[in-house]
């Protein structure tokens, strides 16, 4: 069971899901190290409440400091599925920050940098990785994002490290831009619809970033999520409280 003696690396901490994950880990009094390519961005975001380490998952030699002494990794890095400025075409001296480099090779690099006694690698993947030929996933995969996510998943599974793979559908809910940490901590932490999770890759719909963050953090508290891959959407009426223990138990039994 995770405790506040453990240290958790959040790769992609400055992203939409990542910021929420950091806020939830801090709310549980857990120790967080944020991995970012831009220290000053992370410093202004996290207000000295987390340790910040610079690293780019395209480059294995930048990941040693980030993974040193880490017990858990939650990885929610990502880039756009279609060509955009975030692919960093401008720099001819480095590989584009595209899905193949980030979601595929980058995950391999992070897995290789993890210490062998890592207690869990939690990875935010995507719905559609096992049905890339079906609409709309065939369109989404036009530039290989689902191929790359599956490459990342395989690297994690084949590493032998304990893992949890979460496959959300199209992401909704903020933060769409950077909030300050206190705002995030005070933020209403539940989406509007109920959480639905299922083994494999058959769900379609929308998924709240808030619940992706909830699922990633809550999974660390339950052994029922070890070595599980599940897809996740929001649908139907939301109960007053989401019973993650029950959801994960049902998942394991299914």
Ligand X SMILES: NC(=O)c1ccc[n+]([C@@H]2O[C@H](COP(=O)([O-])OP(=O)(O)OC[C@H]3O[C@@H](n4cnc5c(N)ncnc54)[C@H](OP(=O)(O)O)[C@@H]3O)[C@@H](O)[C@H]2O)c1
Smaller CB separation from ligand X, 14 or 67: 14
153 is written with which tokens?
Answer: 């998943």
DSSP classification of residue 48: T
Terminal CA-CA length for the chain:
23
Rounded alpha-carbon distances, angstroms, from residue 121 to 79, 226, 242: 20, 9, 23
Tell me the C-alpha distance between 25 and 13, whole Å: 11
The H or E element that residue 149 is part of is helix 145-158
Min CB(253)–ligand X separation in Å: 26
- Under 8 Å CB-to-CB from 189, ≥6 apart: which residues? 24, 210, 214
Smallest distance from the beta carbon of 1 to ligand X, in angstroms?
26
Task: Give the other-Cβ count within 10 Å of 228's Cβ.
Answer: 17
Whichever of 30 and 122 has its CB closer to ligand X, that residue is 122
Smallest gap from residue 33 Cβ to ligand X (A):
13
Q: Tell me how far, at minimum, the Cβ of 240 lies from ligand X, in Å.
A: 27
- Separation of alpha carbons 122 and 110, rounded Å: 12
Q: Are 125 and 76 in contact (CB under 8 A)?
A: no
SS3 call for 141:
helix
d(CA 158, CA 101): 19
62 or 249: whose CB is closer to ligand X? 62
Q: How far is the CB of 105 from ligand X (least distance, A)?
A: 10
The per-residue DSSP string of 169-212 comes to -EEESS-SSPPPHHHHHHS----SEEEEEEESS---SEEEHHHH
- Give the binding site for ligand X (CB under 6 A): 12, 14-18, 36-38, 41, 56-58, 76-79, 97, 102, 106, 124, 126, 168, 170-171
129 vs 220 by CB, closer to ligand X = 129
Which C-beta is closer to ligand X: that of 166 or that of 220?
166
Question: Given the complex with ligand X, which of 78 and 104 has the nearer CB atom?
Answer: 78
Residue 21 or 161 with smaller CB distance to ligand X = 21
Minimum distance from residue 84 beta carbon to ligand X (Å): 10
Q: How far is the CB of 3 from ligand X (least distance, A)?
A: 26
């Amino acid at each position: 069971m995770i405790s506040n003696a453990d240290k958790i690396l959040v790769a992609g901490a400055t992203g939409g899901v990542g910021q929420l994950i950091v806020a939830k880990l801090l709310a549980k009094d857990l120790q967080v190290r944020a991995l970012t390519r831009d220290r000053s961005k992370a410093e202004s975001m996290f207000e000295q409440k987390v340790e910040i380490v610079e690293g780019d998952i395209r480059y294995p030699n930048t990941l040693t400091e980030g993974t040193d002494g880490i017990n858990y990794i939650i990885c929610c890095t990502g880039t756009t599925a279609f060509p955009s400025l975030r692919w960093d075409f401008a720099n001819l001296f480095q590989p584009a920050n595209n899905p193949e480099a980030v979601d595929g090779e980058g995950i391999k690099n992070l897995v290789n940098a993890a210490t062998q006694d890592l207690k869990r690698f939690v990875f935010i993947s995507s719905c559609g990785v096992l049905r890339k030929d079906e609409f709309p996933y065939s369109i989404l995969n036009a530039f290989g994002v689902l191929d790359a996510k599956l490459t990342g998943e395989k690297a994690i599974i084949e590493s032998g490290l304990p893992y949890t793979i979460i496959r959300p559908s199209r992401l909704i809910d903020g933060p769409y831009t950077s909030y300050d940490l206190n705002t995030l901590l005070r933020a209403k932490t539940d989406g509007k619809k109920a959480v639905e999770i299922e083994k494999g890759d058959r769900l379609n719909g929308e998924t709240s970033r808030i619940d992706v963050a909830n699922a990633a953090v809550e999974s660390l508290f339950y052994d029922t999520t070890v070595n599980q891959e599940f897809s996740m959407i929001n649908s139907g009426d939301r109960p007053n409280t989401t019973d993650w223990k029950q959801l994960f138990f049902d998942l394991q039994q299914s």
